[in-house]
Structure 1
């Protein structure tokens, strides 16, 4: 398998597979591919070979899809491409028992067969924050390669034992799964949208973290003034 990441602002992950090689991805996320691929959808994919429906349910609780699709290359080989859904970067992760990762919900793009995708962390942060839905991280475990999409520019830090960092949860894109993470309300700092106290994640070393400059909420808020308003009858807008 030969991965290639094309582009800059809106990158594309292109995976070239030899005959019979597999890749796992969420259904419907493919952008383009060469002819001849066999495509099979199942709840068992993405479970690291250790589950079926229950593994798919856990994955769905982590913000992923119940069903994943396995793409198998034809005898002549070929490539399949997945496009990023937001401006940002695509990163490749090598996963084994010593390197398991937690990634923001919705960031998973594709993986090899033996990678397990499941819910890693769910935290309710109070009414208003993240639309009242809290924050969700997917856990990537097992053995193999996985590709994730991170939003905006990426800043990386290595935290030593005893070090920690306070991060707005939406900017914490990716971290090693063994790193302790807790959430705290910051007194004296008001959330500018909702008026309640600001919640921050405190992540503790040792380990590596990836922080993203953009969050889906901030992108949506920036675009909202430019979106067409609903002017249909009964909407309250101008006809």
Structure 2
């Protein structure tokens, strides 16, 4: 096994975090800002890229960091290494309500394609790269642009997404249409494209956007019920236009009506 072999436990329901157990000398790599807590004896180190190009010299490290920059992520990631003589634990939390999906890349043909902001953490050795969408339609209208994240290796990786996660296995030639924001990840053998909503009235007044993703098997896809962009748009729409608090009615609203502004 090229990647470090780590043990883990997913804790929680809707606001989950993953607790990783590290044997002496084992390392896990995570996005900056995802740390929740860690035991004494674990050493933190900030590195260029994902830490999988340590033996490739300066150019290898720069190329790894450059790939992350293209996906809109930070140039740096954080490595957590157990420097003690016993087992230690480090935990990473999701940035918004949803689920953490553990994926063993050795069981997924060594590669998955995912949304560019869904990666949370992985065993050291997993390569976090980019996957260009070869088709112009998928690039311009796919919701994730031309670039998605590509996770390669044979170790554990952890991906987070919003709401409830549905894993669906597609048979050869089986087609699934998905809202572009609801696609979380897919195995490398799934064909991905963008299709325009049929019918002028449906496209303009359907409220579901002009495009959706088409996924054709064979392969496995992971779908989220609540994309963060959808949650953020609802929160933004509920914010008061002129500042202050936006009353939802009820007794408080009645007092405001009777008392007027003060």
TM-score (normalised: structure 2): 0.77
1:83 aligns with 2:93: yes
Distance verdict in 2 for CA 1:194–1:152, change over 3 Å:
closer
Residue of structure 2 equivalent to 1:57: 66
Structure 1 regions of 5+ residues with no counterpart?
A: 233-239
Looking at structure 2, the residues matched to 135 and 191 of structure 1 have their Cα atoms a distance apart, in angstroms, of 25
Separation of aligned partners in 2, 1:24 and 1:47:
10
User: Does 2:168 align with 1:157?
Assistant: yes
**Unmatched segments (≥5 aa) in structure 2:** 1-5, 245-262
1:70 aligns with 2:60: no
Structure 1 CA distance for aligned equivalents of residues 41 and 206 of structure 2: 50
2:11 to 6, 9, 13: 6
User: Partners of 1:20 and 1:230 in 2: how far apart?
Assistant: 55
Question: In the TM superposition, what whole-angstrom CA distance separates every residue of 1:135-184 from its partner, at most 9, and x where no partner exists?
Answer: 74211112211011121111222111111111111111111012111112
Cα offset, 1:2, TM superposition: 2.3
1:39 paired with 2:44, answer yes
- Taking a change above 3 Å as real, the CA distance of residues 173 and 45 of structure 1, as seen in their structure-2 partners, is closer
- Secondary structure at 1:187's aligned position in 2? coil
Partners of 2:174 and 2:51 lie apart in 1 by 33
SS of the aligned residue for 2:19 comes to strand
Matched, 1:221 2:226: no
2 CA distance for matches of 1:67 and 1:6?
A: 27
Counterpart contact for 1:60–1:119, Cα < 8 Å: no
SS of residue in 1 equivalent to 2:99: strand
Structure with a larger share of its residues in helix: 2
In structure 2, the CA distance between the partners of 1:99 and 1:219, relative to structure 1 (3 Å rule), is same
Pick the structure with more strand per residue: 1
Of the two, which has the highest radius of gyration?
2
For residues 1-239 of structure 1, what are the structure 2 equivalents within 5 Å?
A: 1-47=6-52, 51-75=60-84, 76-96=86-106, 98-121=109-132, 123-125=138-140, 134=145, 136-188=147-199, 189-190=202-203, 198-227=210-239, 229=241, 231=243
> Residue 211 and residue 77 in structure 1: after superposition, are their counterparts in 2 closer, same or farther (change >3 A)?
same
Question: Which contiguous aligned blocks of 4+ residues in structure 1 show a shift greater than 4 angstroms?
Answer: 191-195, 228-232
Determine the C-alpha separation between the residues in 1 that align with 2:204 and 2:87: 52
Q: Which piece of structure 1 moves more, 73-82 or 137-146? A: 73-82
Number of residue pairs matched? 228
Q: Is the 8 A contact 2:49 2:66 kept in 1?
A: no
Give me the whole-angstrom Cα distance separating, in 2, the residues matched to 1:205 and 1:106: 24
Q: Is the 8 A contact 2:67 2:130 kept in 1?
A: yes
